[in-house]
Amino acid sequence: MVRLLLVAALAATSTALAIGRGTDQEPLFTIQLEPGVTQQVTEAEKLALKFQGKSFIDITNRPNLVQSATTDASVKAAAAVSYPSALNQTEAVRGLISKLSRENVQEKLTTLTEFHSRFYNTTWAKDASDWLLSEVQGLLSESKAAGATVKTFEHRWAQNSIIATIPGRLTDKIVVGAHIDSINQEGWEARSPGADDDGSGSITNLEALKALLSDPKIVAGEADNTIEFHWYSGEELGLLGSGEIFDSYAADGVVVMAMLQQDMTGWGNNPMGVITDYVDQGLTAFIRLVSEYTDIGYVDTRCGYACSDHGSATAAGYPAAFVIESDRKIDNRNIHSAKDTLDTINYDHMLEHSKLVLGYVYELAFTAL
């Protein structure tokens, strides 16, 4: 019954999004299971795949999310970018790292997990994205960063995605992302705190943004490239929010030079996992270099196709990388349940990921790519 309630709630949002066989039949969605492999499924079938551990991108009405099929010259140019082979901003990055706060991370993650659920098509989820938007607005306002903005990217479901932009001399973008939504496979009404998945990544990036905005060069708009922090809605049901954002970027010829995803950063006490499959290998090599800013190091690991929002960037033709809390062989079995709670979180581990984000963003912000 609970599972049926979840399906019913999802189906309520499907009319505008889906490819239907007819008004008297259940709508269908087109999902991409790996590059070149698509399937049409119902909401119930999509949920079944999700809870079987299958990763996919919902490409319904998202024509630019077909890996390697883009013909946009600016996107292809971004895919061929050459990343630095040495760290060039160590003094500035170390200074920013010193401003990271464990107490602040704990406080913000506590608030985010207090929403009953962040299931993407609920008022709880909308309230959570509104809260996060207000937090980012406060950071930008306090910093007085030149030209910096934050906006919602609205979807045809309740929860918004959020995009914070810090302009540089060029409009070419350096993006860091995480997803706001959470899910409990027992049903859409069930408690879904999502402390690790992906409250941890969302707050990891929020804390990195806070530290970054203390840098006078960043605030003055002196970076070479524009920086964007994204928080995506609907990751759990096929990378929905990031899919719409990167589909629109590709359609508009937006140049993204690099995208780094932070999904699950707070569980365990292990070297962070650098994902090696379905990512840009040049950017991933640079991420290994940037890991020198952390104290825990990394291990290479694999995740499978479309296992987080970097998959949307990759599918749109943009260079993307993904770093997770550990080797994928070490699973946090609390996720997608009411057990994904604060008492499982290692806040120091989250800060290690914040260090990585700061290194990644600052090094590339001041590199003419």
Going from N- to C-terminal start, the domains of the chain cover: 2-58, 73-365
Q: Tell me, what's the pLDDT at 44?
A: 82
* Statement: residue 130 has pLDDT above 90: yes
Domain 73-365 class? alpha beta
Number of residues in the chain? 369
Compute φ and ψ for 149, nearest 5 degrees: -140, 160
Amino acid at 339: K
Share of the chain above pLDDT 70, in %: 90
* Statement: residue 70 has pLDDT above 60: no
Q: Tell me, what's the pLDDT at 24?
A: 57
Least trusted range by pLDDT, from 29-33, 288-292, 321-325: 29-33
pLDDT one-digit tens code per residue, 238-282: 999 999 999 999 999 999 999 999 999 999 999 999 999 999 999
- C-beta of residue 297 within 8 angstroms of C-beta of residue 291: yes
pLDDT one-digit tens code per residue, 332-345: 999 999 999 999 99
Q: What is the spatial distance between Cα 243 and Cα 296, in angstroms, rounded to a whole number?
A: 32
Which residue in the block uniquely carries the two structure tokens 């077909």?
A: 66
pLDDT one-digit tens code per residue, 183-241: 999 988 999 999 999 999 999 999 999 999 999 999 999 999 999 999 999 999 999 99
Q: What is the spatial distance between Cα 211 and Cα 140, in angstroms, rounded to a whole number?
A: 11
Q: What is the spatial distance between Cα 54 and Cα 210, in angstroms, rounded to a whole number?
A: 35
Nearest to 80 by CA among 90, 70, 88, 65: 70
- C-beta of residue 13 within 8 angstroms of C-beta of residue 121: yes
Residue 210: CA count within 13 A, CB half-sphere? 20
- DSSP calls for 310-335: HHHHHHTT--EEEEESS-TTS--TTT
pLDDT one-digit tens code per residue, 139-154: 999 999 999 999 999 9
Q: How confident is the model at residue 11 (pLDDT cuts 50, 70, 90)?
A: very low
Q: Which residue has the higher pLDDT, 71 or 139?
A: 139
**Mean pLDDT taken over the chain:** 90
Q: Tell me, what's the pLDDT at 18?
A: 39
Q: Going by C-beta distance under 8 Å and a sequence separation of 6 or more, which residues neighbour residue 46?
A: 10, 29, 31, 56, 58, 237, 238
* Statement: residue 287 has pLDDT above 50: yes
Give 295's DSSP letter: S
